[in-house]
């Protein structure tokens, strides 16, 4: 019977089972499997971007059902919310298109695809919504986070005692404990940032793999052309205001603000790429930029500020170096 099924359904079935196996391996908690968490949505993204949203949806359903039967309802629900929703929604949005504006002769000039910048913003919205669902369903609030933090600190203290008994250094983990205590109230925001970056990275990886295989349904604009709609700053402001709300709404608002900050950091990096697009020193300067960010994360607010400046002032249009090369014919 499977031999008579359409190719996109077969691809979706395989993608869903592979994603479910990866998710099952991660939840076993082994150190080797933790690195697989970033690859879990990849099969679903490949199915959706290469064979259509129905393929991704079929994979999401199959993977969820398989995990429900193998590991229980909670695990299946966790897979659906954390790993399956984003590939399905983003695949659907990515494949929306319309005829491009007509050329001077009135003939159509091609197809206009759903903009990449909007896909980045939708990624933040999806992550925020998923965190909101988890917060509400699990009843997470500041008291729960404090209790979780206290339990984690208790384990860290026990580890500190073991280290002290072996090395005689009683303060070896004090700095880590202090930093951890400061991060606990913002753990959902950190999760939102990591989740957003992971989703976008796997999204881009799937597009590149499909491009190399000649299976991309749509064409993609270069990263240096990334742009957001004008209302993006309103979403950032809304997240900032919501973060001051009490209780669970404040936690969700802070997560939403963090996803928007992540989006504008990405726009800042795209701005750097755009400004250096035609520079002869492009490669070493980009290497230097990413090296500074990697070793000095405190540079990220500057990257975000660059993204905001590009969004509001159009830095690339103003200051990008023009392409070098032989001059074209003089205009008349």
**Alpha-carbon span 238 to 233, nearest angstrom:** 9
| Backbone phi, psi, residue 226, to 5° | -55, 135
Give bridge partners of residue 113 from the DSSP assignment: 97
pLDDT for res 176: 63
pLDDT for res 105: 63
- Cα distance between the two ends of the chain: 67
pLDDT for res 1: 42
| CA 261 from centre of chain | 12
Please state, as a whole number, how many other Cβ atoms lie within 10 Å of the Cβ of residue 147. Answer: 11
The 10s digit of each residue's pLDDT in 250-309 is: 999 999 999 999 999 999 999 999 999 888 899 999 999 999 999 998 899 999 999 999
The 10s digit of each residue's pLDDT in 187-208 is: 889 999 999 999 999 999 999 9
Helix or strand or coil: residue 97?
strand
124: which residues sit within 8 A by CB, 6+ positions away?
196, 235, 256, 259, 260, 262, 263
Q: How many helices (H) and strands (E) does the chain have?
A: 15, 2
Evaluate whether 86 touches 46 at the Cβ level (below 8 Å).
Answer: no
pLDDT for res 158: 66
Res 248 pLDDT > 70? yes
Question: Longest C-alpha distance within the chain, in Å?
Answer: 84
pTM assigned to the model: 0.87
Say which residue the tokens 């404990």 belong to.
177
Please state, as a whole number, how many other Cβ atoms lie within 10 Å of the Cβ of residue 153. Answer: 15
pLDDT for res 328: 41
pLDDT for res 131: 93
Q: What DSSP designation does 186 have?
A: G
Q: What is the token pair recorded at 113?
A: 């695809």
**Alpha-carbon span 97 to 113, nearest angstrom:** 4
The 10s digit of each residue's pLDDT in 64-115 is: 999 999 888 988 999 999 899 999 999 999 999 988 776 666 666 678 999 9
Average pLDDT score over residue span 206-216: 94
The 10s digit of each residue's pLDDT in 160-186 is: 566 555 555 555 566 666 666 677 778
**Alpha-carbon span 37 to 149, nearest angstrom:** 23
């Amino acid at each position: 019977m499977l031999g008579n099924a359409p190719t996109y359904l077969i691809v979706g079935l395989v993608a869903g089972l592979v994603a479910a196996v990866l998710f099952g391996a991660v939840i076993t908690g082994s150190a080797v499997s933790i690195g697989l968490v970033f690859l879990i949505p990849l099969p679903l993204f490949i199915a959706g971007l290469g064979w259509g949203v129905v393929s991704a949806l079929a994979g999401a359903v199959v993977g969820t059902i398989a995990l429900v039967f193998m590991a229980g309802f909670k695990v299946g629900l966790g897979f659906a919310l954390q790993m399956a929703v984003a590939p399905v929604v983003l695949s659907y949005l990515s494949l929306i298109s319309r005829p491009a504006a007509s050329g001077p002769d009135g003939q159509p000039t091609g197809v206009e695809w759903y903009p990449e910048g909007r896909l980045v913003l939708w990624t933040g919205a999806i992550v925020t919504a998923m965190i909101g669902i988890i917060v509400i369903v699990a009843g997470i609030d500041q008291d729960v986070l404090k209790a979780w933090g206290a339990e984690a600190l208790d384990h860290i203290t026990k580890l500190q005692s073991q280290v002290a008994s072996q090395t005689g250094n009683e303060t070896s983990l004090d700095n880590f404990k202090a930093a951890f205590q400061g991060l606990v109230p913002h753990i959902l925001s950190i999760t939102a940032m990591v989740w957003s970056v992971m989703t976008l990275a796997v999204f881009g990886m799937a597009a590149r793999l499909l491009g190399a295989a000649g299976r991309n349904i749509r064409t993609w604009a270069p990263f240096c052309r990334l742009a957001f709609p004008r209302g993006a700053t309103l979403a950032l402001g809304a997240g900032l205001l919501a973060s001051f709300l009490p209780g669970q709404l404040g936690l969700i608002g802070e997560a939403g603000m963090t996803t928007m900050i992540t989006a504008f950091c990405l726009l800042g990096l795209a701005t750097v790429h755009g400004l250096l697009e035609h520079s002869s020193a492009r490669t070493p300067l980009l290497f230097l930029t990413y090296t500074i960010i990697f070793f000095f994360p405190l540079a990220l607010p500057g990257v975000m500020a660059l993204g905001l400046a590009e969004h509001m002032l159009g830095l690339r249009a103003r200051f990008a170096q023009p392409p070098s090369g032989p001059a074209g014919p003089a205009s008349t």
